[in-house]
Amino acid sequence: MSLLLKNPSTTIQYDPYFGLNEDYRRWRVIGSCNGLICLFDLYYKLTSDHSSSRHLCLWNPATRTQSEFVLASSHKYDEFSFGYDNLRGTYKVVVYHIEHDDVGDAISEMKIFSLSDNYLINIQCFPAVVPVSFLFSSRRRHLSGTINWLVVQDYYYNSIITMEKYVILSLNLSTETFTRLLLPRGFDDEVPNYQPRLVVLMDCLCFCYDFQNTHFVIWQMKDFGEESWIQLYKVGYKTLFSTLIPTNHLFSSLKFKGQGL
């Protein structure tokens, strides 16, 4: 990655040594931390008692070593996050699942799987419900031993979502408890046309959103957990592009070079 930042025109040659070659698996990346990549197998297995299990893999591309784990009681549409418990010095996978009841309201559950002892535990009920459309958009971010989601409070079927309902839900992987973090105040009160998201930039948690279809805005939390937001950038789309591009792709299009965009 540092090579690409120094010379963006560099061509990286494919090296099969670093491949994870298993034709019978359908691995998908959960996340990475400290040079390790955590993956899950898309296939899940049903047992005779109608429960299910799924394989996880912790892979070191540099040494081409891997460890596999079996996650019991897995749902087909589970979502996963991966991070590091700084207190215990172990890696953990967070498993969360959302279903809807008969009236359409969401019911959520969350578990933590410790890779050091293959131990799976239930933790307190997910205190804010994430709309299903958020789950498949990489809205969770790992930072400093925490997993962070952009969620909607008091969400129920057909409810009207306003910006006041958006909060950041932070899970401490050491204490396995949640903290609610407020979003920066002073930005547009209207819900943006495109879903806002969290990113990690320069080792800080950042909140990005579209402002009235004219600007791309990034707020940075300088001191994590202290709600010390500063507006880092507010850039007009016309400044960035000669032709307008769909802003829902903008977040993946912007890259940082040095100290600026």
The whole domain housing 23 covers: 2-127
Maximum Cα–Cα distance across the chain? 60
pLDDT of residue 258: 46
Separation between Cα atoms, residue 50 and residue 34, nearest integer Å: 37
Is there a single domain that holds both residue 109 and residue 192?
A: no
Strands (E), 101-228: 106-114, 119-122, 140-143, 146-152, 166-172, 177-181, 197-201, 204-211, 215-221
pLDDT of residue 136: 47
More confident residue, 219 or 257: 219
pLDDT digits (tens, 9 = 90+) for 134-172: 544 556 889 999 999 888 766 555 555 666 778 888 999
Question: Do strands 177-181 and 197-201 pair parallel, antiparallel, or not at all (unpaired)?
Answer: unpaired
Residues 15 and 121 in one domain: yes
Answer yes or no: is pLDDT of 246 > 60.
Answer: no
Is 85 inside any structural domain? yes
Tokens coding 231 = 């507006």
Boundary of a domain, candidates 127, 148, 165: 127
Least confident residue range of 31-35, 66-70, 98-102, 208-212:
98-102
Q: What is the mean pLDDT of the chain?
A: 76
Mean pLDDT, residues 69-96 taken together: 86
Cα 22 to Cα 27: distance, rounded to the nearest angstrom: 9
Neighbour order of strands in the sheet with 197-201: 197-201, 204-211, 215-221, 229-236
Task: Tell me how far apart the alpha carbons of residues 205 and 222 are, in angstroms, rounded to a whole number.
Answer: 8
User: Structural domain tally of the chain?
Assistant: 2
Domain end point (choices 127, 148, 172):
127
